Structures are given as C-alpha cells and as structure tokens.
A and B are shown apart, each in its own frame.
Chain A
Amino acid sequence: MNTRYSFGGDEHIFVECDEEMSLEAFFKGMSITTALREAKIRGVTEICPANASFQVRFDPDVIAPEAMLSELKALEAAAQAAPSVLETRIIEVPVYYNDPWTHETLMRFRERHQDPTSTDVEYTARINNLDGVDGFVKAHSGAPWFVSMVGFVAGLPFLYQMVDRARQIQSPKYLRPRTDTPRLTVGHGGCFGCIYSVRGAGGYQMFGITPMPIYDPNQTVPYLRDFMCLFKPGDIVKWKPIGREEYDHTVAEVDAGRWMPRIAPVTFSLAEFQKDIDGTNTRIMEALNGH
C-alpha cells in the first residue's frame, strides 16, 4: 500500500491509503484518523475517514499546511506499528428485499439501467454468478459488512462486505443516475453497499428497503435522540432478511416510538480476520445473538 498525500486547496489534506479498496486500506485510514483525533492538534476542524482514504480539514491561520502534513506523516508511521484492533459494535439491520417501493422506482427508471428487462437484484445476481434472487439474498445477508465511510448526504453509510475479494458482490452504477430513490433504500454500487438516509437522486442498484430510520434531524426516533445519525465509520452491519409482514410491523413499532435496533459491542482484530474470515464473522455474529 502506497500512502499518497495531496493538499485540497489551503484548508484540506487528502490522504489516499491505497488506490484500490481493501479492508487493510480502510483500517490504515481508521488507525491514523483515530490517532489524529486523540492527538487533539490545534487547528484541525474535520477528520473524515473514507473507504481507502481519509481527509482532514484544518485552519491554515492556526497550523501551517506543511506543519499539518508533517503531523499526519508522523501519525502514519506510529499507526503502522500499532496492532489493527477496533472496539466497535454490530448493528442488525432488517431488510425487505425486492420490496414494492424500490421496485416501483426501478421500473420508472428502467431506461437508465444496463439491463432494462430484469430487476436490479436479478441483474446483480446474474453478473455475480449467484443462484437467482435467493442466492443473491444469501450472499448479501450471509456475512457482515463494515461501515467504511459515512457521507455523500447526512448519515448515509457506505458498506464493505467482510469476505475475501472473490466473494465481493460487484455491480455498476446506473448508466445515468435516477432523480429519485426511496428513503431507506438498500443500494449497491461498485463493491459498496449503502442505505439511502434521505429520499433523493441516486445511481446505486436498488435491492430492498429497511424499516429502520438511520437519520432523523428532528430526533424523535428513540435511538436517534442522542444523535441524529446512527452510523459511524467502523460500525459493523448484519442484514436480516424480512418479509412484508415484519416490515409493516416494524414500521408501525417505529412510528409508535417502541422499536429499538439490536446492537452489541464487539472487538474486531484485522490479524484474526486475515487468518480466519468465516470464523471471525461467526464470532462477531455470536456477539449480536448474545452467546
């Protein structure tokens, strides 16, 4: 991995941990940004981890750009030496795959899709050699995903599945972006999953919808009262396939202010994961299931 530094104007430093996506590149960014946050350097105003890169915004009236760059390079050297262990949490997210709302939307924008004759799930299953819709749901919901970045719009998580590269689901974005995507659509573009936190434009394939709000600027949803965005980079997500009945029930419970997501603390070690991917994922899921 070759770390590349570049100034983004006079207020930002952009750091690319690697050109290509990998869990290792993501972890390198997490380690350096965590160390940077703890270092509490005067003049640093924003620390934004991303998939295989990160970005720092600073006030050049407080810290000179070259001095900021030196601080980051020193932190990179220190982070390389530290073990890649993350104290994080696993969050279960119910998904109603092939739901009527994303289906209505994807039909409306069919002429912007690579394959106008099939749905987004059917298309993605086919190009990834998965056994139809069922095979797709099994692969998508079978192993957990890392929140590798939060952004684009408020609270939107980018997700990277915790499997080896051969098992990564890959799908192109729409040929031309849609002007509409239902709120809480579970989407996918390139090797990244996402949950659309608000309704709006989008180019990712649409696989389903979750009944679980993840962004609430009014902070009336009980689990978003402390903070309006649910996800942070480093969180782990496990999809739980649900049907129409459970979807409707969950929406009603959310509206009544009674529903809470299942969340459990978990420790993730990159070295352990690299040695035994499936074993590590099983252990992470056990944390969620209270074993």
Chain B
Amino acid sequence: MAINVIKPGLSTTVQDLGRPGYYHIGIPTSGAMDMLSLAAANLLVGNPAGAAALEAVFMGPELEFTADAMVAVTGADMPPKVDGQEQAGWTAFPVKKGQVLSFGFLKAGARAYIAVSGGIDVPVVLGSRSTYTLGALGGFEGRKLQAGDVLPMAAGSGARSSVSAGRSVPEELRRRPGAPAELRMLPGLYWHRITEAAGERFFEDTWKVAPEADRIGYRFKAGQPLEFVDREQPFGAGSDPSNIVDACYPYGSVQVPGGTEPIVLHRDAVSGGGYFMVGTVISADMDLIGQLQPHTPTRFVKVTMEEALAARRDRKAVLEGIAAALA
C-alpha cells in the first residue's frame, strides 16, 4: 500500500490542515496554502476534508501506485494523466495498481492538490501530517519529496464503494484569484508608521508577485516605496525606520522591509521579527495567495472587520457547498 515517487516535481510536500498551537515557540501551522482546494480534493475521493494530501508547486510529480486508489486533483490547472491518459481536474478518477499518475504543464494557478482515497499515511507530528521544511518537521521525513521515496497509503485506502469515479466539484465552487488578483487587507498593526499619502498609494498601486514567493511568504514588487512618519527609533528597535522591537507576525501580515517590497506571510511563516507591518490579509483570501504565480498583477483592497467576517462566511459557504455537492 504505497506510492512510489518516480519524479518529485519542483517542490511537492505532504500537507493537511496544519498544526496550530505551537506558534509561540516558532513552529508555524503549515498545512495546505490553498486549504479550500485541499478540502475539495479530499472530499472528492471520500476522505475527511483535512486528510493528508500532496501539494505540488508549478510542476507535478510522477507517481506509481502499488494499490488501487481513487484520486482527485484540484487547485492549479495542471492536467493529471493516468498512464498518459489525460483526466479532468476537480474530478475523482481511479488509478489501478501499477499505473502511473503524471501531470501536464501548468496552465493556471500555482499549487495542485493531489488527494488519494484514505490519505497519505506519514506519521502524525504534533497533531498534524503537514511538512514544515524549515524545521525539518512532519510530512515525509520533514522535507519535500525526492525520486525514490515510498509514500505510505493508509490501510484500506482502496476506492471507497460510496465514491464513484467522475463526480466533480461544480465550476462555480472552484475559487480562483481574479485578474488582477485582489487580496483584501485589514489595515492595522504598525499602519501608523507610514504617511497618509503612502497609505493611499499602497492600495492604489498594482503590485506584482516577485520570484521570492514560497510557503513562508509571498513578496510583491513594482509598487511605490512607502514614506515613513518621522520618529526617534525606540530602544531595541534598530535604526531603520521600518524596524520595530522584534514582535510576533500574524499569519497573513504584510511587512514592508525598508518600505519597498511588501511580504505577506503564509502557512510556514516566520513567527516573528523586527519589521513593521501595515496590516493583515484576511483569512478568507489566504487560499488565493497559494495560487498566485510570480509576476501576477495584484492589488491590496482595504476592508473593515465587518467585511472581513462577511468574506469569512462566504468562504465557509463555498466549502459547505462543495461538501453538499459531494455528499
């Protein structure tokens, strides 16, 4: 009951819904960057929404199955193939013992989620199977997959009788970033450090995803530098106006080192540091960041707490819609 990794893809890791509870000692939650897509892939193959699956970035892996399984691929548009035969995305399909699952080129999005009936059976570490690469923790030996790895599949993971091949997530429930991508942000934290004019320009500018974009954080460039309100730097903060006394970083927080390129921290966030933050991308839009490719034009959209909570309800409704459609 295993999957043999023939080719690992660019950076493929085991992820589930993450391990909250250890951020105070620097261990981030990890988990799928696009949790909605992870949940959809799992539900398609009859797994609980939070089962461990594979997250493949930009380029898919090549996997040989040693047992029958039901498989679904969601998230990025990266067509799955079984023994070379193309399969539909967001749709359950069977893979027989001995068959090879591979992927075509990426057409849209950034991260594909590959769920296998029963889930990927790596050890649970601190309550989760997610990979935290920086800390060499969880997942498959604490790292991204390599050729030759043998991924354990959960016992009894053969296609569940109640799950039929061909069922799929309705098109309107497949959430994707728009063009330009819009990330809703609640201003705050150290927003007062920049001038009013700089604050206005921050939301007016169209930024672009920089090449330095990974599970720790997404960097954006091509906007105008932020001007700071003059002050004498507090003791312990450091001399640059963008420095603060090292503090915690919220998930989704937007730090702007030197006032030039915003970085949005994601699931493998560094838990704290000495850069000021202008606000936080709302929880509902974190999934979308996981699907942004480098160079994608992106705008930050200012919202209130009420709007953030409404967006959170909308996202939950999408998840419930997917669950209902696949019940």
Contact = CB atoms under 8 A, between A and B. Distances in A.
Say whether A associates with B.
yes
Interface of A: 6-12, 14, 16, 18-22, 45-55, 57, 60-61, 65, 149-156, 158, 165, 172-173, 189-192, 197-198, 200, 215, 217, 228-229, 231-233
A80 B224 CA distance: 43
Given A8-B280, A231-B25, A51 B20 contact: no
Contact of A198 (B135, B247, B252, B277): B135
B136 interface: yes
A54 B245 CA distance: 12
Contacts of B309: 10, 60, 65
Interface stretch (B46-54, B86-94, B160-168, B266-274): B266-274
5 contacts: A6-B188, A9-B252, A22-B235, A149-B248, A151-B23
A10 B186 contact: yes
Interface in B15-47: 20-21, 23-27
A49 to B, nearest CB: 7
Contact of B24 (A47, A158, A172): A47
Nearest to A233: B24
Interface of B: 20-21, 23-27, 125, 132, 134-137, 142, 185-186, 188-189, 234-239, 243, 245-248, 250-253, 270-274, 277, 279-284, 305, 308-309, 312, 316
Most buried by B among A9, A46, A156: A9
Nearest to B268: A153
Among B132, B235, B239, chain A packs the most CB atoms within 10 A around the CB of B235
A155 B46 CA distance: 37
A232 B247 CA distance: 15
Contact of B248 (A53, A165, A229): A53
A87 to B, nearest CB: 18
B235 A155 contact: no
Contacts of B247: 14, 16, 50-53, 55
A23 to B, nearest CB: 11
A16 B186 CA distance: 18
A229 B25 contact: yes
Given A6-B188, A8-B253, A217 B142 contact: yes
Given A48-B24, A54-B248, A152 B189 contact: no
Contacts of A8: 186, 188-189, 250, 252-253, 277, 280
A16 B190 CA distance: 10
B245 A52 contact: yes
B28 to A, nearest CB: 8
Contacts of B253: 8-9, 12
B25 A155 contact: yes
Nearest to A216: B136
B303 to A, nearest CB: 9
A19 B245 contact: yes
A155 B22 CA distance: 10
B250 A57 contact: yes
A221 to B, nearest CB: 14
A149 B189 contact: no
A236 to B, nearest CB: 17
A61 B270 CA distance: 25
Most chain B CB atoms below 10 A, which of A152, A155, A215: A152
A48 B305 contact: no
B252 to A, nearest CB: 5
A12 B251 contact: yes
Given A7-B188, A215-B135, A217-B142, A149 B125 contact: no
Contact of B238 (A7, A55, A172): A172
Contacts of A48: 23-24, 248, 271-272
B186 A190 contact: no
| 8 closest cross-chain pairs (CB), A and B | A21-B236, A8-B250, A9-B280, A20-B234, A151-B271, A55-B248, A154-B135, A151-B26
